[in-house]
Structure 1
Amino acid sequence: MLVEVSDAPKALHHCPRCHTAVYQRIPDSLARTWAFLLAAMALYIPANLYPILTLVSFGQKNSDTIISGVFSLMGAGQWSIALIVFVASVLVPIVKIVVLLFLVLSVQLKIQWRPDVRTRMYRVTELVGRWSMVDIFMISILIALVKLQALANVDAGPGAAAFAAVVILTMLAAMSFDPRLIWDVLEEETNE
């Protein structure tokens, strides 16, 4: 009999393959992952089309999307920051969406290809995904710094809200995906 002391599930056993703690299954894992993933994919478009921030300086208004912000940073000679923004704000969300899409489809189509590799893909995706918030933190810091000085005005645009939603939704999609589903196909094969 399992008695829960807190909201966090307790480990019942250890995995015979990797020796990590095994927890209870996530209810409706695939349905939840699909819902979060589809919402993230839908919001990824406005996150990249709409301005992520608007700068008003000396009467001139300049709005930047994520990509135009990367190009602006490159034009200003800030190659390292441009690379960080590109990786965290463009590359990571796309790769995370594609990997999660692949994992969910591989489970639903009962693909048996390299479950160990797919499990590692999931773990890396879950770990790396939260670094996409770097862009939102940069905007927050920039707004706070500029508000302290009266020379310019910086405001977050609608793209920032959509981008933050994409990051949060992909994090929720990764958290709701149960990687044990990858291994279930092998269990079904041995039971038949």
Structure 2
Amino acid sequence: MTVLSGKTHLSAVEFPDPQILSTPMPQSNMTEFFYYFAYGSCMCPVDLKRTLGESTHTYVIGPALLKGYRLGFYQRSQRRNCGVLDVVKDPHSYVEGVLYQLPWRLSDRLDEREEVPNGGYRHEIVEVHRDNWIYRNVRTYVVVNKLEEELAPNDWYLNVVLRGAVTCGLSEQYCWKLFHHMHQLQQRQKRQQPLRSA
């Protein structure tokens, strides 16, 4: 295996210009960008644009796989008033998501969205797989103080997560798995509400 511009090629084929393969746009200086793996609402470029203030479609590399983690709703978003996604280490699982290559100038705005300054999430540096490549030094976000049990998302969050998953080409099987997980949490929450109000 050879490491090329922050990623490792898994096949024996050598390419004359690996930088073109690691960059969705023709950029000469790779240090101006960072890789970002989104697994929740940020998978949706339209929703990400709302926060970052510019279109992010051109920064999408495509669907990617994070091995050794699983999804869970272990954070309560004050802004959305519901459970939001987190990734938790699990050697027997994986998470599908969207790999971006974002300009460094957007880093602080992304941190604000993920509530890093307030201790909501923190950076986690991971490796993600896409086609025959391993991308290294990829930023994702994990919850700092995790809830003891999962908290259901609201309908808005469920829809934006699914829109991002489908739009950016995550596998159909994974999209259904994601939908069922979120729907089951919502159903559990509805069953528990009458008990809490009694």
Say yes or no: TM over 0.5: no
Q: Which has the higher contact order (CA 8 A, sep 6+)?
A: 1
The structure in which a higher percent of residues are strand is 2
